[in-house]
Amino acid sequence: MKAMSKFAPPPLSWNRLRARVLFFGVTLVVLAVLVVIVSLGAIRWRWHRDVKEQLASIKAQGLPTTAEELEVWHKPLAEGNNAAIFYEELFELMPTNTLPVRFASLRRNEPLTEVVSNQLRAVVGRHSNSLRQARSGTPLTSARYAVDLSEGVNARLPHLTRLKALAQLLRAEAMLDIAEGRSGAAVEAILATHRAARTLDEEPLLMSALVVLAMDANGFISLERLLNHLALDHNQLAQLSHAAALTDRTNRFVKGLISERAMHGEIIGMAQYDLAKLQSIAPGDEGEEAGSTPTPQPGWGWNLIGIFERDRAFYLRAMATNLHIAKLPPPESVQAAKFAEELNAKARSGYYIFSSLFLPALARLELRDAEASARVRTTLVALAIEDWRISHGGQTPDSLSELTPAYMKSVPADPFDGNPLRYKKLPQGYVVYSIGRDKRDDGGKEQPPRGTKLKGAERFQYDITFVVER
């Protein structure tokens, strides 16, 4: 034992021990940092590849991925074929201070009061030139308004405000025509409303699609009031039926979603790679166009983290799902709406910053699409019933099956459950209705008047109706 102890290493001094511990500690820290960097790089590369593959797939379909590509995708029209020029000239006849028309809460069969009549006459009188031109119409059917979509979210859309105001003015004019027994003039105002709305059908903006719904709604409200006060002839009913049929677009939000994906997906990409450009398109304080202090470009560390690349990958996949749902016909699209809601919840819980801002704005588009289709279809059935009444002494049919096939090929399906639309005779007149988004047959219960205070599910406990009490 004593012999072996001669070869034992001498004990380490404190300084040497501390140096070794420090060396091994630094080595472990460096290795840990390297592992983290490599792991982040691998994850970051996967997100980048995911985004790149999705963008390539979108482009392979011939669809835009940026605002500039969106501008090219929304092809121009020759002036001789562009109905938008007709309406842009019409807008010049409208006073610059044109305000939305406020309609009194009148039931469809309630006569106009003297006060309301005077208010409507004053409004219509101020816009007589533009209304006259709108009613004259244009034979052109394609339209492309002077909008620069390459500006993305900052694209100026003054024509939408003007078109919506025009629809309200035409509704006011139709109300006066109905009150004074001018059925032909009222029909012209309704047709002019739908004709103007059709100029937006191909505009690839979500806001444009929503304005179309509002404009067509004005036409349907005017028509319901007209049928409650006056009888129409076969030709007038045929014209109105043709115009209403053109509004039944079950995939009316598809192009709007394509543009949303292009513009907002690009914004998320700027947040990752080009903060200066993102700042240049974001409004500054007090309405300034851009911030006064330039934002430096993100460094390699920021790009390595890739938090917004992750966000963009998620957003593109969510939008692919939303587009798939939007292309489905109702009621399949209504049933699939739950998947869009799940994506919204995942965007919030997963801390996808931009996705949680952009996706909720698209919530319930499928329901709005189905509601719009329900209003169109109930209107078409009501027009067929009115046509049937002309040949049957003003009586109403006992069931909608009496309308087929002479007055319509088949009874339209309810967009909310796929069953035929419901019909009920009233003591005087009838109601055609869809069960609506609560998917419950409420017996033709009408939507409560605007301003009625309802809570929770009560807001949708009604049917989508077209009522004629004449």
- What per-residue confidence (pLDDT) applies to 37? 65
Residue with tokens 């917004």: 308
Q: Are residues 39 and 92 in the same domain?
A: no
Task: Check: CB of residue 159 under 8 Å from CB of residue 145.
Answer: yes
**Tens digits of per-residue pLDDT, 178-192?**
999 999 999 999 999
Residue 6 lies in a domain: no
Q: Are residues 279 and 345 in the same domain?
A: yes
Tokens found for residue 463? 């049917």
Residue 293 lies in a domain: no
Tokens found for residue 374? 């329900």
Exposed (0-12), middle (13-18) or buried (19+): which is 343, by Cβ within 10 Å?
buried
Does pLDDT of 66 surpass 70? yes
For residue 102, give the H/E element and its range: none
- What per-residue confidence (pLDDT) applies to 392? 94
Which of 212-216, 245-249, 426-430, 432-436 shows the lowest mean pLDDT across its residues? 245-249
Q: Are residues 342 and 404 in the same domain?
A: no
Which of 49-63, 155-169, 268-282 shows the lowest mean pLDDT across its residues? 268-282
pLDDT confidence band for 469 (50 / 70 / 90) = very high
Across the beta sheet with 422-426, what order do the strands follow? Answer: 422-426, 429-434, 464-468
Q: What angle do CA 451, 457, 461 make, to 5 degrees?
A: 70
Task: Check: CB of residue 256 under 8 Å from CB of residue 208.
Answer: yes
The mean pLDDT value for 166-189 works out to 96
Strands (E), 226-334: none
- What per-residue confidence (pLDDT) applies to 365? 92
Residue with tokens 């006849």: 93
- For residue 130, give every residue at least 6 positions away whose Cβ sits within 8 Å of its Cβ, in sequence order, or none: 90, 91, 93, 94, 166, 169
The mean pLDDT value for 92-107 works out to 75
Q: Are residues 85 and 158 in the same domain?
A: yes
Best CA proximity match to 470, nearest among 426, 422, 433: 426
- What per-residue confidence (pLDDT) applies to 456? 64
What percentage of the chain exceeds 70 in pLDDT?
A: 87
Residue 135 lies in a domain: yes
Q: What total number of domains does the chain contain?
A: 3
**Tens digits of per-residue pLDDT, 382-403?**
999 999 999 999 999 999 999 9
Best CA proximity match to 269, nearest among 298, 291, 294, 295: 298
What is the separation of C-alpha 336 from the centre of its chain, rounded to a whole number of angstroms?
17
**Tens digits of per-residue pLDDT, 8-33?**
666 667 777 777 777 777 878 877 77
**Tens digits of per-residue pLDDT, 312-335?**
999 999 999 999 999 999 999 999
Does pLDDT of 286 surpass 50? no
Residue 378 lies in a domain: yes
Residue 308 lies in a domain: yes
**Tens digits of per-residue pLDDT, 36-65?**
766 666 777 888 899 999 999 999 999 999
- For residue 154, give every residue at least 6 positions away whose Cβ sits within 8 Å of its Cβ, in sequence order, or none: 281
Three-state SS annotation for 7-53: CCCCCCCHHHHHHHHHHHHHHHHHHHHHHHHHHHHHHHHHHHHHHHH
d(CA 348, CA 352): 6
- What per-residue confidence (pLDDT) applies to 457? 64
pTM of the model: 0.87
Tokens found for residue 233? 């002839």
Q: Are residues 71 and 197 in the same domain?
A: yes
Residue with tokens 């059935």: 381
Does pLDDT of 458 surpass 70? no
Mean per-residue pLDDT of the chain: 88
- What per-residue confidence (pLDDT) applies to 290? 47
Which of 99-108, 129-138, 419-428 shows the lowest mean pLDDT across its residues? 99-108
- What per-residue confidence (pLDDT) applies to 360? 92
Q: Are residues 376 and 468 in the same domain?
A: yes
Residue 72 lies in a domain: yes
Residue 133 lies in a domain: yes
Q: Are residues 235 and 149 in the same domain?
A: yes
pLDDT confidence band for 1 (50 / 70 / 90) = very low
Residue with tokens 């004990």: 11
Collapsed DSSP state (helix, strand, coil) of residue 107: coil
Residue 428 lies in a domain: yes
Tokens found for residue 298? 């993100």
- What per-residue confidence (pLDDT) applies to 287? 46
Q: What are phi and psi of 231, to 5 degrees?
A: -90, 145
The mean pLDDT value for 333-346 works out to 91
d(CA 236, CA 185): 11
**Tens digits of per-residue pLDDT, 195-243?**
999 999 999 999 999 999 999 999 999 999 999 999 999 999 999 999 9
How many residues are given for the chain?
470
Residue 382 or 101, more confident: 382
Q: What angle do CA 426, 422, 246 make, to 5 degrees?
A: 110
Please, which residues bridge with residue 466 across strands? Answer: 432
- For residue 96, give every residue at least 6 positions away whose Cβ sits within 8 Å of its Cβ, in sequence order, or none: none
d(CA 311, CA 468): 51
Does pLDDT of 157 surpass 90? yes
What is the separation of C-alpha 21 from the centre of its chain, rounded to a whole number of angstroms?
64
The amino acid present at 330, given as its one-letter code, is P
Query: In which domain, by residue range, is 44 found?
Result: 16-62+258-283+298-363
pLDDT confidence band for 448 (50 / 70 / 90) = confident
pLDDT confidence band for 5 (50 / 70 / 90) = low
The mean pLDDT value for 100-126 works out to 85
pLDDT confidence band for 412 (50 / 70 / 90) = very high
Helices (H), 350-398: 353-358, 365-390
- What per-residue confidence (pLDDT) applies to 7? 61
Q: Are residues 336 and 399 in the same domain?
A: no
Q: Are residues 56 and 196 in the same domain?
A: no
Q: Are residues 38 and 99 in the same domain?
A: no
Q: What are phi and psi of 217, to 5 degrees?
A: -60, -40
The mean pLDDT value for 62-85 works out to 94
Q: Are residues 226 and 106 in the same domain?
A: yes
The amino acid present at 143, given as its one-letter code, is A
What is the separation of C-alpha 450 from the centre of its chain, rounded to a whole number of angstroms?
21
d(CA 259, CA 93): 31
Whether the bond into 331 is cis, omega within 30 of 0: yes
Does pLDDT of 284 surpass 60? no
Does pLDDT of 446 surpass 70? yes
Q: Are residues 239 and 137 in the same domain?
A: yes
What percentage of the chain exceeds 90 in pLDDT?
A: 67
Q: Alpha-carbon Rg of the chain, whole angstroms? A: 31
